[in-house]
Amino acid sequence: MRTILVGALVVSLLMAGRPQPAASASALEWELPSGHFFTQANGFPTGSSPKGFSVTDDGGVRFWSEFQRLGGVDSLGYPVSRRFIWDGYVSQAMQKGVLQWRPDQGKALLVNALDQLTAASKDDWLFNVRGTPRPLDSSFDAGKSPSDIVNARLALLDARPAMRDAYFGVDEPLQRYGLPTSRVEDMGTAYVVRLQRAVLQEWKVDTAWARAGQVTVANGGDLAKEAGILPAKAPYPEDPPPGLWKPQAGEYRVSGDATWYGGQFHGRKMANGQTYDMNDVTTVASNMYPLGTKVKITHGTTGASITAVVKDTGGFRFPIVADLSFAAFGKLADPKVGRIPAVVEVLPP
């Protein structure tokens, strides 16, 4: 059975700070009665898709209020997941941390995301893929009182004054970052220290995102999502709330690749509940737009185009922007090609 879930995992934004919007007139976020809906970290080029994540106070879980209390986007980044249950608590991942609602305290706390990665046996992945030091052995804390443990771990930052300054340069650093859980290590292009909720990186060379000597933050929420330790459905972007998304001509346009699906799915149920007909030239599967959205799909090389309706979703990821029916793809290219450059444009209702 063809999957009916949105198939694009959010591309991780590991550096702190707001993503810069692309030139687009598309709305990037909407106010909700009890919160806010954000599209900026949905995994697609900024402004190209209305899908995203809502942060609300619904159900007595006051994530929107707590999100604002903790500094909003500037402090936590954009949401990168839906709500989910983690360790028995309602949780939601933001770029820079995972919020967890604690009803006994009437507030949200930040999860020790890097500790959770250790518990999920992701230390090798962090080391090899993200250049993050492995955590200290528990013997480091042996024989120390709680206050001595805190002082000893904070003293690890003294190895790099710029890192120490960056850590203490935020409000309530223990709440924001947690304690250091590794020594500062030379990871080649950067000095890196692992914290309970984030990673600090002091760059030794100029990069595309930082200059030599600058300290950046690898975001705990993004790392948890990229490592795949969140529940399976949590990272899938949601449709915009009904009635808020009103696309205008030329607003939503994205370049990528188009593919097709055919015989093995013919006769099966699509995400919209209808039966898939591989010979229907009006059918397209998309993970970027709500079901029922009318789109124009143009071959990126020949200029040939068709109009179709989003009736299905799939397990493909960006840069695939459209998965056409066999017949619809045949209007643009020989199906033997399998994959073509394409531009998808949303048409007004």
Whether residue 122 is found in the same domain as residue 203: yes
Average pLDDT over residues 241-251: 86
Residue 12 predicted with pLDDT over 70: no
Note the pTM of the prediction, 2 decimals. 0.84
Whether residue 184 is found in the same domain as residue 268: no
User: Residues 119-171: pLDDT tens digits?
Assistant: 999 999 999 999 999 999 999 999 999 999 999 999 999 999 999 999 999 98
Round the average pLDDT of the chain to a whole number and report it.
91
Instruction: Classify residue 205: in a domain, yes or no.
Output: yes
* Tokens representing residue 289 in the block: 């737009």
Final residue in a domain of this structure, among 220, 245, 265: 220
Residue 248 predicted with pLDDT over 50: yes
Question: To which H or E segment does residue 305 belong?
Answer: strand 305-312
Instruction: Classify residue 247: in a domain, yes or no.
Output: no
Residue 320: pLDDT band with limits 50, 70, 90: very high
Spatial CB neighbours of 320, under 8 Å, sequence gap ≥ 6: 256, 257, 258, 259, 339
Residue 1 predicted with pLDDT over 70: no
C-alpha dist (Å) from residue 82 to 99, 111, 119, 120, 303: 11, 16, 22, 20, 38
Final residue in a domain of this structure, among 175, 195, 220: 220
Whether residue 204 is found in the same domain as residue 297: no
Q: Please state, in angstroms and rounded to a whole number, the distance separating the CA atoms of residues 305 and 317.
A: 22
Task: Look up the domain containing 135 and give its range.
Answer: 115-220
Of the chain, the percentage scoring pLDDT greater than 90 comes to 84
What pLDDT score was predicted for residue 265? 96
C-alpha dist (Å) from residue 242 to 34, 246, 250, 308: 15, 10, 21, 21
Whether residue 215 is found in the same domain as residue 290: no
Residue 23 predicted with pLDDT over 80: no
Residue positions counted in the chain: 349
Instruction: Classify residue 142: in a domain, yes or no.
Output: yes
Whether residue 264 is found in the same domain as residue 323: yes
Whether residue 209 is found in the same domain as residue 257: no
Q: Please state, in angstroms and rounded to a whole number, the distance separating the CA atoms of residues 200 and 183.
A: 11
C-alpha dist (Å) from residue 148 to 141, 151, 160, 271: 9, 5, 21, 56
Final residue in a domain of this structure, among 220, 239, 269: 220
Residue 24 predicted with pLDDT over 60: no
Amino acid at 132: T
Q: What's the CATH code of the domain at 293?
A: 2.40.40.10
Of the chain, the percentage scoring pLDDT greater than 70 comes to 93
What pLDDT score was predicted for residue 6? 31
Contact predicate 184/76, CB 8 Å:
no
Residue 26: pLDDT band with limits 50, 70, 90: low
Residue 272 CB: number of other CB atoms within 10 A?
15
Average pLDDT over residues 271-279: 97
Whether residue 262 is found in the same domain as residue 205: no
Residue 247 predicted with pLDDT over 70: yes
Task: Name the domain count of the chain.
Answer: 2
DSSP 50-103: --BEEEE-GGG--HHHHHHHTTHHHHH--EEEEEEEETTEEEEEETTEEEEEET
C-alpha dist (Å) from residue 118 to 114, 191, 257: 6, 20, 37
Residue 259: pLDDT band with limits 50, 70, 90: very high
Average pLDDT over residues 182-198: 97
Instruction: Classify residue 110: in a domain, yes or no.
Output: no
Least confident among 98-107, 231-240, 243-252: 243-252
Whether residue 209 is found in the same domain as residue 265: no
Contact predicate 245/26, CB 8 Å:
no
What are the helix (H) ranges across 120-190?
123-130, 146-155, 161-168, 173-177
Residue 303 predicted with pLDDT over 80: yes
For the purposes of burial, counting CB atoms within 10 Å of the CB of 201, is it exposed (0-12), middle (13-18) or buried (19 or more)? buried
Residue 241: pLDDT band with limits 50, 70, 90: confident
What pLDDT score was predicted for residue 7? 32
Higher pLDDT, 11 or 209: 209
Residue 249 predicted with pLDDT over 90: no
What pLDDT score was predicted for residue 250? 86
